[in-house]
Structure 1
Amino acid sequence: MIKPACNPGSRVRYRANIKLSKEQDQELNSSLSSISEDTALHGALTASRNDVRVVELFAGAGGMGVGFLMASDKTKGFRIINSAEINPIFLKSLETNYKYFYDSINRVEDSIPSDFIPIDLTKKNDCQLVHEAVKKADGVDIVIGGTPCQGFSQSNRTNWNAKNTYNQLVEYFIECSLELAPKAILLENVQGILWTPRSNKSKNKHKLTVVDYIAKKFTDAGYVLFPTVLDAAWYGVPQHRNRFFLLALHKDLGYTVDHFGEWGAFPLPTHGAMGKHNYVTVKEAIADLPVVENGEGRVIQEYDEPTLGQLSSNPFLQQMRQMAIPGTIEGHIVSKQANYVIDRYRHIPAGGNWQNIRHMMTNYSDIENTHSNIYKRLKWDEPSITIGNYRKSMIIHPEQNRGLSLREASRLQSLPDWFTFCGNTDNSKTLGIMHKQQQLANTVSFLLTLKIAQYILKL
């Protein structure tokens, strides 16, 4: 296991479920009261220039990159010089969102890539495109990204093996990152990366994990490592979403483990038991959205803008509406579910799940192995459960008998209302809802990324 250089406790803490995580938070709360997150920072990352050059690998629809772009201020900020993504539909979403940001609130000149073409990081010729972009920009300061998580996910436990194709993509992230020689590297993934073996060949009981392998590679290359597991709800996201992060800072920046103390090189929580604010609830996140029916297909709808009073009492909603087109809501679309599914929804109370309708689950062959998030109805007064592919899990609206809309799920990921998902490569306004849902499931929670990026800008 990685030596947890700056992580609370004696190891990287796995967060099993919401109940156990709350107990961990109470324990951690007392240890955070005396910690200041800024005292050790000396601005080494921006000492020579104010525009921090970023390369993002496995960029997806741009959720992580948008967090970095939005972290910029009037004096310094991030400039994304290349976004490597192989899926042309995901890349179209990324391009659409980046250009919208650039046209609306550009703070740093040339802050988005000049080209948006699919890049396959498993191919040398495609990797060369990343290197050329870095050379043109006179170097890179930080590499960010997260490889596809299917091979490490709890919902796909049979994939926890070294032969899984998705797991092998980590190798390309490591190789490309180290070749670019940035000052810092930020890797994001699900918690399963902590225990998935890097190789199945070892006969030892304690096999080398993927994280062990990453740690050795980065350490040998001169980086100081800060691994942790963060819950997005700690940073104002209306969703409990635990993700593994590894921040690697090159020793030339002058930072050591001792500069950061117990919490490590990450921002302190702002919400929940360890923060100054209450968790953002599902009600604060989506209660303002129009009532819609099962199968709603209108991509653009009229929207009653919140009053100034409503926005002042709901900072989250204020963030979601910033830069959005007034009077409209986009992507408030819902997958069409069969009548028998909607009938099941009617029998599930707020906070309930499939166990409330066990007698109706006649098409499930192995009911006892059903995940607790299946047929889960959300509660207004607390954060959401983790939003993966919410259509497959059949996550239910707190009051209406239907599945979540794409915009509701996007809000629960803390993605602002101007952030969109493309359904195909030709027209971002076509339905293509399944493509959009998968992109959302893969996206890093925006507000969490924003907080991390703001913190990194101080390093």
Structure 2
Amino acid sequence: MTKPKVISLFSGAGGMDLGFINAGFEVVWAIDFEPDACETYSKNIGDHIVCEDITQVKTENLPDCDIIIGGSPCQGFSNANRQTNFLDNPKNLMVREYIRVVKDKQPKVFVLENVPRLLTAGKGKFLNEIKEQLSNYHIEVKVLNAVDHGIAQKRRRAILIGSLIGEIKHPVAKKETMTIRDVLTNISDELPNQDEYRASRESTIEKMKLIKQGDNVHSLPASYNVSPNTHENVYRRLDLNEPSHTLAHAGKTVTIHPTEDRIISIREAARIQSFPDDFTFYGDLNSKYQQLANAVPPKMAEEIAKEIHKHIHNKN
């Protein structure tokens, strides 16, 4: 059986694509707007990625495909009421672009990854608008947590699977839970990106020393005058016996290594996101942390892709 062909939108560093490739798909075309992410993608996955603005892409120029995947940026959650559509919000332009490509290419299956709030915004109005635009597809909707799919991280994402070839279910949760100990043990200093992490001022390191595994900025002494509004993931030290919290930009949030008084490295963040050790990140340090923060964990994408592959195989 020939490999089903995939078009990837908003590909980033390629976490979602890697998962689909590992599950037996062929990504024939990809696009992202960030040059560093495109460099990471091209050097690890392939030079079929285009680095440009998706609004300038003409769908008739795209190759044929069986699947379209992508996690479009989505920020406009506050403007919709009975008179206003979410899809009219300029902040949701990228969601509209995703819909445009799917409507024009009519793949057998599409996968849209996004924040869970997409499903509840406007008491479901945003989701209904997307379903109306793609009404010829059977769409299965579910919030998946990465920790249920072999990843040492609590990361909830909304996954929409649209199908023209019958109902495709989401992957079921695994029974075992991966911990930070499982993924950060035996990291060699020789691995790519392991020596790259944001250096901290001495005053920051002194704070780190006061924070135990699993604790965060709110466990600092009262003399530090921490605002009660500070997010609980700021200055959070990873716990060896637990999965990570949702990994954001580890340098900005000051995500602390479980046993060392420093911010986690790019390689350590990559392991938490389930990227293999031979997957090297490119760009400056800030960009590498952001690429990882934006990434779909490859192992979670692979679980989704396996369900789709199984369905296509059964249909054939």
Give the TM-score normalised by structure 2.
Answer: 0.90
Which of 382, 386, 390 does residue 246 from structure 2 map onto?
386
Where does residue 151 of structure 2 map in the other structure?
Answer: 237
1:377-409 deviation line (CA, Å, top 9, x unaligned): 111111111101111111111111111111111
User: Are 2:265 and 1:434 aligned?
Assistant: no
User: Are 2:233 and 1:373 aligned?
Assistant: yes
CA–CA distance in 2 between the matches of 1:358 and 1:55? Answer: 51
User: Are 2:99 and 1:185 aligned?
Assistant: no
- 1:167 partner SS: helix
User: Are 2:82 and 1:173 aligned?
Assistant: no
Where does residue 265 of structure 1 map in the other structure?
Answer: 169
User: Are 2:218 and 1:355 aligned?
Assistant: yes
CA–CA distance in 2 between the matches of 1:132 and 1:373? Answer: 43
Which of 97, 100, 122 does residue 55 from structure 2 map onto?
122
Where does residue 279 of structure 1 map in the other structure?
Answer: 177
CA–CA distance in 2 between the matches of 1:360 and 1:249? Answer: 56
Give the TM-score normalised by structure 1.
Answer: 0.63
CA–CA distance in 1 between the matches of 2:153 and 2:54? Answer: 31
CA–CA distance in 2 between the matches of 1:453 and 1:345? Answer: 40
User: Judging changes above 3 Å, is the alpha-carbon distance between structure 1 residues 240 and 183 closer, same or farther for their aligned structure 2 residues?
Assistant: same
Higher-Rg structure is 1
Which of 10, 16, 19 does residue 67 from structure 1 map onto?
19
Where does residue 336 of structure 1 map in the other structure?
Answer: 199
Which of 292, 297, 300 does residue 445 from structure 1 map onto?
297
Which of 139, 157, 173 does residue 225 from structure 1 map onto?
139
1:324-354 deviation line (CA, Å, top 9, x unaligned): xxxxx01011101111111000001111111
CA–CA distance in 1 between the matches of 2:91 and 2:250? Answer: 21
The answer (yes or no) to whether the contact 1:81–1:133 under 8 Å persists in 2 is no
User: Judging changes above 3 Å, is the alpha-carbon distance between structure 1 residues 160 and 406 closer, same or farther for their aligned structure 2 residues?
Assistant: farther
CA–CA distance in 2 between the matches of 1:286 and 1:342? Answer: 21
- 1:448 partner SS: helix
Give the alignment's Cα RMSD to 1 decimal. Answer: 1.9
The answer (yes or no) to whether the contact 1:282–1:379 under 8 Å persists in 2 is yes
CA–CA distance in 1 between the matches of 2:223 and 2:119? Answer: 37
CA–CA distance in 1 between the matches of 2:244 and 2:149? Answer: 14
Where does residue 417 of structure 1 map in the other structure?
Answer: 277
Equivalent residue letter for 1:225: I
Q: Shift of the alpha carbon at 1:165?
A: 4.3
Where does residue 131 of structure 2 map in the other structure?
Answer: 215
Q: Shift of the alpha carbon at 1:133?
A: 3.2
Equivalent residue letter for 1:192: R
Equivalent residue letter for 1:118: C
The answer (yes or no) to whether the contact 1:239–1:385 under 8 Å persists in 2 is yes
CA–CA distance in 2 between the matches of 1:59 and 1:86? Answer: 9
CA–CA distance in 2 between the matches of 1:346 and 1:401? Answer: 6
CA–CA distance in 1 between the matches of 2:99 and 2:161? Answer: 13
User: Judging changes above 3 Å, is the alpha-carbon distance between structure 1 residues 443 and 209 closer, same or farther for their aligned structure 2 residues?
Assistant: same
CA–CA distance in 1 between the matches of 2:128 and 2:200? Answer: 43
- 1:131 partner SS: helix
User: Judging changes above 3 Å, is the alpha-carbon distance between structure 1 residues 54 and 268 closer, same or farther for their aligned structure 2 residues?
Assistant: same
CA–CA distance in 1 between the matches of 2:288 and 2:16? Answer: 16
Q: Where does the alignment leave 5 or more consecutive residues of structure 1 unmatched?
A: 1-48, 73-77, 100-111, 153-158, 198-205, 257-263, 291-300, 303-328, 424-431
- 1:457 partner SS: helix
The answer (yes or no) to whether the contact 1:148–1:442 under 8 Å persists in 2 is no
The count of aligned residue pairs is: 303
User: Judging changes above 3 Å, is the alpha-carbon distance between structure 1 residues 131 and 360 closer, same or farther for their aligned structure 2 residues?
Assistant: farther
Q: Where does the alignment leave 5 or more consecutive residues of structure 2 unmatched?
A: 80-85, 312-316
Where does residue 259 of structure 2 map in the other structure?
Answer: 399
User: Are 2:37 and 1:90 aligned?
Assistant: yes
Q: Shift of the alpha carbon at 1:168?
A: 2.4
